[in-house]
Chains A and B, each alone.
Chain A
Amino acid sequence: DAKTTQPPSMDCAEGRAANLPCNHSTISGNEYVYWYRQIHSQGPQYIIHGLKNNETNEMASLIITEDRKSSTLILPHATLRDTAVYYCIVRVAEYSSASKIIFGSGTRLSIRP
């Protein structure tokens, strides 16, 4: 799986958009970008994933650059409950076989009131 690089920490004001960057310059053509987050001592939570098109769901938006070497997770209106460690993970989504997720260091996002 490709290595990702994320800033160790970020902060954002409550109600503002939080933009979390991720570099994955060695990503392969069949690898997806996944985002998970972990709120203190809870199990990691899936947020969103994408291959090359931008994706949006009820939690966040994922913007992937055209060359797929970097991406940005956007939390449109951050709340205090979004304070967590956010992990950007690149991996193959192999149909009909298991594929482990490897967590890197992640970004510790702090939302300030």
Chain B
Amino acid sequence: AAGVIQSPRHLIKEKRETATLKCYPIPRHDTVYWYQQGPGQDPQFLISFYEKMQSDKGSIPDRFSAQQFSDYHSELNMSSLELGDSALYFCASSLGGVDYGYTFGSGTRLTVV
């Protein structure tokens, strides 16, 4: 069965650079969620989109922005990267009207040097 696809799997950036993470949800899923997980921490909710509109916002820095496109894939844009942004970034998708739980992708490991 198709899963949530995230790209790239690994990314190394320097401080003050920009990074773009991509998430391709399961086909027909209309809701996407982004989470950040720092070393030794639990996943923290960043932002979510339902039918291409932002539906909820968590502890997402102003330097980050995200959107969901017409094909339902989503991109997380991160600017002015800081060392503290080094983390695993997970994307999850669900079918908004049927809640059997989210399906998470394998994550993107971002390292800022």
Residue numbers of A with Cβ under 8 A of B are 34, 36, 38, 41-46, 49, 85, 87, 93-106
Contact = CB atoms under 8 A, between A and B. Distances in A.
B99 A46 contact: no
B103 A46 contact: yes
B interface, by DSSP: helix, strand, loop or mixed?
strand
Contact of A103 (B42, B56, B98, B103): B42
B58 A41 contact: no
A75 B101 CA distance: 19
A interface, by DSSP: helix, strand, loop or mixed?
loop
What range describes how many residues of B lie at the interface? Answer: 20 to 34
Q: Which of B4, B42, B55, B56 has the most CB of A within 10 A?
A: B42
Contacts of A85: 42
A71 to B, nearest CB: 15
Nearest to A48: B101
B74 interface: no
B42 A99 contact: no
A46 to B, nearest CB: 4
Nearest to A38: B43
